[in-house]
Amino acid sequence: MRGISILLKLLLLVTMIIATMVNSVPLNYGDALTKSILFFEGQRSGYLPASQRMTWRKNSALKDGSDIGVRMDGGYYDAGDNVKFHFPMAFTTTMLAWSVIEFGDLMGPDLQHAIEAIRWGTDYFLKATKDPNVVIAQIGDPNSDHGCWERPEDMDTSRKTYVVTTSKPGSEVSAEIAAALAASSIALRKSDGRYSRALLLRAKLVFDFANNHRGSYNDSIGDGACPFYCDFNGYMDELVWGAAWLYKASNDKTYWNFVKSNIQSLGSLSEFGWDSKHAGINVLISEVSRVMNDPSNQNPFILNANNLICSLLPNSPTKAVTYSKGGLLFKPGSSNLQHVTSYSFLLIVYARYMQVNHKTINCGSVVAKPTDLIDLAKSQVNYVLGNNPLGMSYMVGYGLKFPQKIHHRASTMPSIDVYPKHIGCRDGDKYFELQSPNINQLTGAIVGGPAEDDSFQDSRFNVSQSEPTTYINAPFVGVLAYFKQSKS
């Protein structure tokens, strides 16, 4: 019995050593960056270009917009469904552009693919804003779409076009599109000056439409937006966000004055994502207006940005988030990795602004240096890529162990190359219910992520954990570019 006991202890020790080795494997940020950008090709709608690398995806939704006599092919599917929700799509495009603005010089050969991902969004938004006083806010009836499990190439669900107008406004979706166009005009300035100028001009027109005809798209398009992408905190944050990007893109003081006069009307200054732009506004403006040079440190944008950082740092007395035992940041709600990637982006961007201006942050008794912010972001990146209790990467196709049964229609069903026959509304159910891995690998997709106890259910049925979204990936592009080159 004693020998068995010793043997069991040895086995346990070996298991622990192996687990430790698995959970702290060296990470290849460059490989992750390449794959994080490739993911967007799997989300493309419309006519796919000859350069398409994710070849199991094919042309889809080619008649979008035909119900109102416009051509609206293109754009991105937001997640594992086949609807083009323009509100989160615009935020995705804004964050891709911000990633290139801040970190494009670190991307190497991936920069061109990042630019292509941005232009896939902006080409589409130029179509959506072509007519004055009309902004196309969404394509596809989400209730019809969510009742089917179909490839995007086969869709026969309603492709209803939702629009916002002067009489039925949608300030949040319109202002976010304006932000996306303005940010992209900066990101694309070096590669295509003429296109960049066209984006900025359109951004100004769309912002004016959003600001002059105020109202929520929740009311104007009803169940097209809700409960899927309701705006829960009003549209003023999008208006201020749009003005901030227009100021950065144009240096027009009109937009700066708009930001200054409206920033105090915003609440919940620590939120950032497709719905809430508050924290992003303060981090962006801290650099745009050079307010960080204020020796008194009393500028409201700096105070707000500093408070954001203090709400995130694990040892801060004003911490407002939680961390799992494995070290992952958590906020209430589903698809938690959307918070992880967005906050990691802001942490790095703000740390770089702090470094340039030789600043630290006082969080009560804790003094935070730029390196503290970067270390926190790096811990989150490393967790996502595999340094976690399960030794699992939450990016599909990265590492040896990653989610195999993600909640994503196109990924679960055979490509048209393999099965050219039409797959109807409920015909895809048999693929959804399979216990085997998805047929097609959506390389680079970051899923919703683990539960707060660090567990993960690799199941298509667990939407919150297993569904990827474009707005989870978009901030991570910049984050990975930074760590690809950083010596931190």
For 200-235, the pLDDT digits (tens) are: 999 999 999 999 999 999 999 988 889 999 998 899
- Residues 8, 2: Cα–Cα separation, whole Å: 10
Mean pLDDT of the chain: 92
pTM: 0.93
64 classed as catalytic: no
**What is the predicted pLDDT for the residue at 270?**
86
- Please tell me which residue in 113, 278, 407, 408 is annotated as part of the active site: 407
- Please tell me which residue in 81, 110, 172, 238 is annotated as part of the active site: 81
Indicate whether 13 pLDDT > 50. Answer: no
- Please tell me which residue in 31, 116, 294, 458 is annotated as part of the active site: 458
Query: Exposed, middle or buried: residue 204 (CB in 10 Å: 0-12, 13-18, 19+)?
Result: buried
Nearest to 174 by CA among 282, 246, 67, 117: 246
467 classed as catalytic: yes
407 classed as catalytic: yes
458 classed as catalytic: yes
Residue type for 22, please?
V
Contact 223, 256 (CB under 8 A): no
Tell which wins on pLDDT, 9 or 413: 413
Phi, psi torsion values for 395, nearest 5 degrees = -105, 120
Indicate whether 374 pLDDT > 50. Answer: yes
- Please tell me which residue in 78, 141, 176, 467 is annotated as part of the active site: 467
**What is the predicted pLDDT for the residue at 144?**
93
Structure tokens at 322: 């939680």
- Residues 366, 353: Cα–Cα separation, whole Å: 20
